[in-house]
Amino acid sequence: MGGPIRILHVVVNMNRGGAETLLMNLYRNIDRSKVQFDFLTCNGGVFDAEIVELGGLIHRIPYVSDIGHFGYLKALDQFFAAHPIYKVVHSHMDKMSGWVLRSAKKAGIPMRIAHSHSTKSEGGIAKQIYKWFAGQFILPNATDLLACSNKAANWLFPTKTYKISILNNGIVPEQFAFSLQVKQEVRNELHISETNLVVGHVGRFDKPKNHAFLIDIFAELSKEKPDSILVLAGDGPLRLNIEKKVADLNLEEKVKFLGVRNDINRLLQAFDVFVFPSVHEGLPVTLIEAQGAGLPCVISDVISQEVDMEIGLIEYNPLLNSKIWVDKIKLAAAKKLSRNIPATTLSEKGYDIKKIAERTQDFYLVMSR
């Protein structure tokens, strides 16, 4: 056999989203002499250079919003017809995976995987209807179904006519282990004192992450605890709106917008409490990372129970009243829990990326025989 089997992952772009971060974590930890990842994308992304460095190929076609429905289907058909090398196509496009897998099946690609990373489609009514229609083509064209959680599986594959495998969003536990030295270093870099109560959040500035409510919570918290600081890592279409809201509430001195970071493992060390009021999620890898760093997490009750590693760090809350959230944040900060989480804990709970990568690699090798 000449070299590794090549798996084609289909995504819109390789930026720092949850699905993309999982893909890169898998890619870094698989045996690339046996399995190699290539990517079919529509736009450039921050991981592109690393993908090429690891030996991956990046293919590009325009997205449906740029060339319309028929143009997009034609681009997919032409791509798969021109690349018969691929025997395994792994689509991470949620309901839009229907179009991808339909074209892959037409081209005779034997293994076609649909992977659910979410629990809801984004966009207005027209977009939602279009995505629903695309989603009708998943089950007739997929050979295998994967999801990051049971909730994500139930959303994308509601009829469950096939067996669905759950693939956990894993991390490298050692990279997130708590370090007092790193905590002090990061706080110095961010000009935050040892006595400040630091509330942190990592996520794209988009509707699902619910930043507006997060700012309401923090506005209440800072009245009760004036030494509080909110640190926001990420970027996205709603960032300017949130910056304006922060300015309108005169909180600019207390809210730090860090943009996209590639050192989340370090950043988490500096936080006291991680707050995550999402309106919907698949299974956020950032919450696994936060628990790996020993951080108490105050999160919305819509997030899958599977995210809780049962080490006393997750506190679920309804998205109703910011006052409840403030009380929970203060309580979490006052507990002063030990932040030293053994790496074996993540491994036992199934969130060690090395083991997940091994399992994924075996899955691909068995499928492609």
Supply the pTM of this predicted model: 0.86
What DSSP line would sit under 236-298, residue for residue? Answer: -TTHHHHHHHHHHTT-TTTEEEEES-S-HHHHHHH-SEEEE--S--S--HHHHHHHHTT--EE
For residue 183, pLDDT over 80 is answered with: yes
> What are 285's two structure tokens?
């890898």
Mean pLDDT estimate for the chain: 94
- Rounded to 5 degrees, φ, ψ at 323 are -60, -40
Distance, CA of 261 to CA of 283 (rounded, Å): 20
Q: Do domains 5-170+352-367 and 173-348 have the same CATH topology?
A: yes
Distances from the Cα of 85 to the Cα of 27, 109, 180, angstroms = 19, 9, 49
Q: Among residues 118, 122, 121, which one has the least CA distance to residue 153?
A: 118
What DSSP line would sit under 65-114, residue for residue? Answer: HHHHHHHHHHHHHHHHHH-TT-SEEEE--GGGHHHHHHHHHHTT-SEEEE
Domain spans, the chain? 5-170+352-367, 173-348
Confidence of residue 18 (pLDDT cuts 50, 70, 90): confident
Tell the CATH topology of 173-348: Rossmann fold (3.40.50)
β-pair partners for 197 = 228
226 by Cβ neighbours in 10 Å (0-12 / 13-18 / 19+) ranks as: exposed
Strand 228-233: give its sheet, edge to edge: 255-259, 228-233, 197-202, 273-276, 297-300, 314-317
For residue 68, pLDDT over 80 is answered with: yes
Over residues 189-236, the pLDDT tens digits come to 999 999 999 999 999 999 999 999 999 999 999 999 999 999 999 999
**CATH, domain range 5-170+352-367:** 3.40.50.2000
Q: Are 317 and 298 in contact (CB under 8 A)?
A: yes
